[in-house]
Amino acid sequence: MIDPINFVVFSSILLLIGAYGVIRNKNAIVVLMSVEIMLTAANINFVAFSTFYNVLSGQIVVLFVTTIAAAEVAIGLAILLSLFKQRDTIELDLLNRLRW
């Protein structure tokens, strides 16, 4: 059996990659993709420890989270599309009309 600490290390690396992508990227679609990586990081924890404790609840969470991720992307793309129709760009730096 693999030591579960390996999974935690792996998932935290994934989380950091995702968070870096969210913070550094200027393109809204890439930010959405990075959020997906972060959700995957949590999923890995759930699956790994579901096996470790021999309970199914963690794997059920993963099923729900996958669905949520799909819904999130659907809504995200819809909103970004309507933004793109108005401004011809989804660069996050240009989202600056709401400012004091």
Partner 1 sequence: MEPSNLFLPEIILVASIMTIPGLYMLTETKKSFALCSNLTLTSILLFLIVSWFNPEVLSMDREVSMFLLYGHFKIDIFSQIFKIIFVLVALTVSLISSSYFDEDEPHQAEYYTLLLSSTLGMLIVASANDFLTLFLGIEISAFSSYALVAFRKQDDKSAEAGAKYLLIGAFSSALTLYGISLLYAVTGSLTFDGVHAFIDGLSQGVITGNFNEVIFISSLFILAGLGFKIAVVPFHAWAPDVYQGAPTPVTTLLAAASKAMGFIAIFRVFSFTLESVSEEWKLVLGLVALASMTLGNLAAISQEDIGRMLAYSSIAQAGYIMIAIPAMTDDAMSGAIAHTLIHAFMKGGAFVVVAGLGAVGLGYSLDSYKGLAQRSQLLALSMTVCLLSLVGIPPFAGFISKFLLFYGTLQAGLSGETWIIALVIAGVLNSALSLYYYLKIIRYMYLYEPVEAKEVVFPSSIRYISLMTILLLGIIFPLYWQSLFEICKEAAIALMG
Q: Does 68 bind partner 1 (CB under 8 A)?
A: yes
* Residue from 100, 99, 80, 77 nearest 90 by CA: 80
Q: How far apart are CA 98 and CA 100, in angstroms?
A: 7
* Distance of closest approach, residue 21 Cβ to partner 1, in angstroms: 10
**Separate counts of helices (H) and strands (E) for the chain:** 3, 0
Q: Of residues 20-49, which lie at the interface with partner 1 (CB under 8 A)?
A: 22, 28, 31-32, 35, 38-39, 41-43, 45-46, 48-49
Q: How far apart are CA 46 and CA 69, in angstroms?
A: 15
* Distance of closest approach, residue 35 Cβ to partner 1, in angstroms: 5
The three-class DSSP label of residue 23 is helix
Footprint of partner 1 (CB under 8 A): 4, 8, 11, 15, 18-19, 22, 28, 31-32, 35, 38-39, 41-43, 45-46, 48-49, 52-53, 55, 57-58, 60-61, 64-65, 68, 71-72, 75-76, 78-80, 82-83, 85-87, 90, 92, 95, 97-100
